[in-house]
Amino acid sequence: MRFLTLTPLSVLVAGPALAASKNPFSAEFWKLSNTDLIVLIAFILFIGVLFYFRVPGMIGKMLDDRASGIQSEIDEARALREEAQTLLASYERKQKEVQAQADKIVEQAKKDAEAAADQARADLKRSIERRMAAATDQIASAEASAVKEVRDTAAVVAVQAARDVIAKQMTATDSNKLIDDAIAEVDARLH
């Protein structure tokens, strides 16, 4: 470390001396009237004051502190990055789980909808069959009622026609004989 500090110092000291217009090895260079000598002396004093107050050490310490601060910030940033990656992975897992649950819910809803549609079709079919059976029963009932009405009307007409025919052909003796036969038949059936 000391070598690194002395090397720049020698370069700094030699810089103004070599830049002087007069040769530093001549006698004229070493006179106080020479401004180059005064500048060299002021420069050496300035460097001496810097070393006396340990400015290079302070600068080195400041640079080391700054480097360690930067290193700690880098370490903290890495830790935050790893934590963020962990959180991201966790959220991605949760998102996949939620997506899987949503897919299951949609699939179940489709199955439920299909089952409800099938049930509705079956209910509609049963309803149509019941209505068809009711309509068939009504038609059969109406047909039976119409047949009965026709029979009743036919019977009434036949009785009326028979009465008219019998009334025209029957005499009083025939009428009495029919009454006696009917009474006898009723008496025979009752006993």
pTM above 0.75, yes or no: no
pLDDT of residue 76: 96
pLDDT level of residue 34 (50, 70, 90 thresholds): confident
pLDDT digits (tens, 9 = 90+) for 86-120: 999 999 999 999 999 999 999 999 999 999 999 99
Q: Is the pLDDT of residue 35 over 80?
A: yes
* Geometric angle at alpha carbon 144, from 138 and 145, rounded to 5°: 85
pLDDT of residue 123: 94
Tally of CA atoms within 13 A in the half-sphere of 107 that contains its CB:
6
Six-digit token pair at 27? 């006698």
Q: Is the pLDDT of residue 2 over 90?
A: no
Does residue 13 contact residue 43 with C-beta atoms inside 8 Å?
yes
More confident residue, 48 or 1: 48
Tell me how far apart the alpha carbons of residues 62 and 164 are, in angstroms, rounded to a whole number.
Answer: 147
Who's near 29: CB < 8 A, 6+ residues apart?
A: 20, 22, 23, 36, 37
Six-digit token pair at 104? 């299951």
pLDDT level of residue 15 (50, 70, 90 thresholds): low
Name residue, tokens 């300035």.
46
Question: H helices of the chain, where?
Answer: 2-19, 35-52, 55-169, 172-190
Mean predicted confidence (pLDDT) in 141-159: 84
What secondary structure does DSSP assign to 6-57, as a single string? HHHHHHHHHHHHHHSSS-TTSTGGGSTT-HHHHHHHHHHHHHHHHHHTTHHH
Six-digit token pair at 41? 């002396």
Tally of CA atoms within 13 A in the half-sphere of 100 that contains its CB:
6
Percent of the chain with pLDDT over 70: 87
Q: Is the pLDDT of residue 24 over 70?
A: no
Does residue 16 contact residue 35 with C-beta atoms inside 8 Å?
no
